[in-house]
Structure 1
Amino acid sequence: MNAPRRAARSRPSKGKASIARVGLSALVVATAASATAVSAVSLRMARTVVTPAGRVANTRIVSLDASAQTITLERTADTALPGRYGIFTTGTSDYLRLGSVVADDGKTVTRKLLTHVPADGSLAAEAAFSGWYFDEPEQLRLPVLSVQIETPVGLCPAWEFPADGDSGVWVVQVHGRGTTRAETLRAVPLFRALGITSLAVSYRNDGEAPRSASGTYTLGATEWRDVESAIEYALHRGARRILLMGWSMGGAMCLQTEALSAHRDVIAGLILESPVVDWRTVLRYQSRLLKLPAPVLSLTERILDSRWGARLVRGGDAIPLDRLDRVAHAAELRHPVLILHSDDDGFVPSDASHALAAARPDLVTLETFEVARHTKLWNYDETRFTRVIQDWVRQQGLADGE
């Protein structure tokens, strides 16, 4: 009898095996390429976060009517805002102050021009819209001293606006990322009316103060030490109680100072305008705006929060994102806080401000705005901005004579 046949094993043909190997190789290459792309975008995002940047052109000037004292701008969410603003230009003037909107056709807006421009003046099309309004201390027409504050990185310039009287209360005003102390000038008059001396400070890597060794931001993790130096300056000048007012990233710096200062006993409270309360909330929001995939955000945070990442972005130390999250550390808060934040901020979302207020209703007062966007609350509604801050200061017993 013939022996029974063994069942033949099913083996892929050489052609099919080759196709499988090619497919696997393509997958590996695609995965590697994807990982490389994620790494590259994450590194770029991390570097952008920590690298001090100058003024960015975000507005296009369409036309200028010197006789009517108006300027027409491309319409954006910012240029269409009600209120008074400023615009940085090139041409006959570096900075123009803008008044109310007089025309809006959906594509452009025309605003009153509050700065005189010669009839033959020409302006470049690209400009930077700003909420500063005042860009020089002399424009306030108040007594002011130009001073130098000794900090760990060297002498940092500041403006001191003495109060008319001696309440013993000073406010240290801290500007935000990518700006200068001129950003804080809008708030000086309201504090002076309360008998409070204002100290508008600069800090490392802001373009006016000395650079740190790395020349990069640490998002408040080290910059707060310059705020601490400002407190010491004020105490040496006779201050007995200190208010901290921070704008945007300046808010993160003030919150770090509140937590770590050796002078916590003289800090009377914090006023925060459009503040960064938690950097992860900001990074998450910005990554959504840029439509970046989740792995990019995750790797960006790891780069910022690690020593190896600090080397990649040419920074100093790792940035402790957990420690900078003041919502997570809300139990450590010891001083009253007033937060002013627009729910349509557009840059620093108000989520963390709401979360901090919910976590510490005993200390945190949150005043929300709409329409005002990022650090433009004074511009949008100066009356409300002033009233809210002055009422809160009086409630804390910090106004002159209280």
Structure 2
Amino acid sequence: MARSTIAKSLITAAGVAGGLVLLTAAGAGFVMARVARTVITPVRKRPQNQSIRAVDDEAGTVTLKDTPDSAVPGRYGLWFDDDTGYARIGGVIEKRDGTVTRDVQRVAFGELRPTTRARLSGYYYLEPEELGLSANSVMIETELGEAPAWHFPAEGIDDGRWVIQVHGWGATRQEGLRAVPVFHREGFTCLLASYRNDGDAPPSADRRYGLGGTEWRDIDAAIRFAQENGARSIVLMGWSMGGAVVLQTITRSSASELIRGIILDSPVIDWIDTLEYQARLLRLPDPITQGALRLIESTWSGPITGLGAPIDLASMNFVARASDLALPMLILHSDDDGFVPSTASRALARARSDIVTLVPFATALHTKLWNYDEERWTNAIADWLGDTVG
């Protein structure tokens, strides 16, 4: 789930609210509908919210506008010229005069040059081949049709241990490529699944996100695919909204007996907590926020939101539903996450300390924990796998 994507859309809604001053009843209704639709509508074009100030080909550096994303240590992907170019960038070399200069590791395509149309990404890898591992593309039969997935078979003796990765809001399977090496080293077959309305898998009739309430069926299909192809135990990993999808899957799947544990990176544990947090950051009036939530949950609001069926947000609060959980769980979350607050992750870890292992970060932002500190992130997963699922 990309903070820049949904936050930019909500900022637009907030601007509309400000323009209406104290809001007439009709104006309030319009803004509520706008906010509700923003949450559940997939966004294909990512906001270009970064600028490239200078490029030094001889030194192998790029200078960016100083922002929280550009200033954080680690290695990242840099999209530029409206996503027609892509480069991998490394650590911070210098910060001064409102700019950040970083190492350029590789320009994958496009001409890296100054532009105001750029954005930073945690993806880093774009294609399976970049990992140097055996991989193939497969199709998973879902109730909506065939959904593509990337399959990385375990090397050597295959003992039937699989990991199925589930990407987040506004993301794709590319999000999980950086996690494949650690699972591969630990002897797991890895499957990176797609799900309805993500731009890869077949869309639903309403072409709206179910925030986990519908997408879990596609991950259930991925579990059946894994079982048919030799999986005897499965770990599910969810990124951001993918965490909400995973939590729905383990509590609703008919094949849950195969699942041995779950790993969650920057997860949505409670949708209401997450959406209220976003609204507070954007200073949306509370009545607007609550009205938008009611629209998402209501049976009568389909013509307004475009949803084919209401979303039961209360059932997606897994702090309140902590007693429904039984599987061992690893949660990795940064306290400075500007999209999904770590409060629910911490609350769930307190409520279910018997099954939840929380690895907190302080300054890694949203779904960029691997990018910020790959060694700590990787070791946390490897250790948990060894201690929990063998």
* TM-score, length-scaled by structure 1: 0.88
Q: Structure 1 CA distance, aligned partners of 2:80 and 2:129?
A: 20
Q: How many residues align?
A: 369
Kindly name which structure, 1 or 2, has the bigger radius of gyration based on alpha carbons: 1
Quote the RMSD (CA, aligned, Å): 1.9
For residues 52 and 120 of structure 1, what CA distance do their matches in structure 2 show? Answer: 29
State which drifts further: 223-232 or 99-108: 99-108
| Pairing partner for 1:98 from 61, 83, 89 | 89
Using the alignment, how far apart are the partners of 2:136 and 2:281 within structure 1? Answer: 42
Point out the more displaced range, 91-100 or 269-278.
91-100
**Would the aligned equivalents of 1:144 and 1:161 in 2 still touch at CA under 8 Å?**
yes
Q: Deviations over 1:141-180 (max 9, x none)?
A: 1000110111111111100001113121100000011010
**In structure 1, what is the equivalent of residue 76 of structure 2?**
85
Q: Which residue of 2 aligns with 1:60?
A: 51
CA contact (8 A) 2:235 2:261 kept: yes
The residue aligned with 2:284 is 292
- Secondary structure (helix, strand or coil) at the match of 1:79 reads helix
User: In structure 1, how many angstroms separate the alpha carbons of the residues matched to 2:291 and 2:120?
Assistant: 32
Instruction: State whether residues 243 and 271 of structure 1, in contact with CA within 8 Å, keep that contact through their aligned partners in structure 2.
Output: yes
2:335 corresponds, among 320, 325, 343, to 343
1:42 corresponds to 2:32: yes
- Cα offsets for 1:274-307 (capped at 9, x unmatched): 0000000111101101101110111011000012
Report the residue type matching 2:278 in the other structure: Q
For structure 1, the residue ranges without an aligned partner over 5 or more in a row are 1-29
- Per the alignment, do residues 264 and 346 of structure 1 end up closer, same or farther by CA in structure 2, a change over 3 Å counting? same
Shift in Å, 1:66:
1.8
Say yes or no: does 1:365 pair with 2:357: yes
**Deviation per CA, 1:178-215, whole angstroms, max 9, x where unpaired?**
01000000110000000001001111000111111000
Is 1:223 paired with 2:215? yes
1:66–1:117 contact (8 Å) kept in structure 2: no
Structure 2 CA distance for partners of 1:383 and 1:31, relative to 1, 3 Å: closer
Is the 8 Å Cα contact of residues 244 and 268 (structure 2) preserved in structure 1? yes
Q: 1:366 to 1:150 in 2, by over 3 A?
A: same
Structure 2 Cα separation of the partners of residues 119 and 354 of structure 1: 42
Question: How far off is 1:57 after superposition?
Answer: 1.4
Map Cα deviations across residues 295-321 of structure 1 (whole Å, 9 max, x no partner).
Answer: 011101100001222321111100110
Percent identity for Structure 1 against Structure 2: 49
Q: Distance in 1 between matches of 2:67 and 2:107?
A: 24
Q: Comparing 99-108 with 183-192, which one deviates more in the overlay?
A: 99-108
* Distance change in 2, residues 1:219/1:369 (3 Å): same
Please identify, of 39-48 and 227-236, the stretch whose mean Cα deviation from structure 2 is larger. Answer: 39-48
Matched letter for residue 259 of structure 1:
T
- Indicate whether 1:278 and 2:270 are aligned: yes
Amino acid at match of 1:41: V
Q: Residue by residue, what CA displacement relative to the aligned partner does 1:36-93 show, whole Å, maximum 9, x if unpaired? A: 2322211111010000012221211112222221111111101111000001122896
Which residue of the partner structure matches residue 109 of structure 1?
Answer: 100
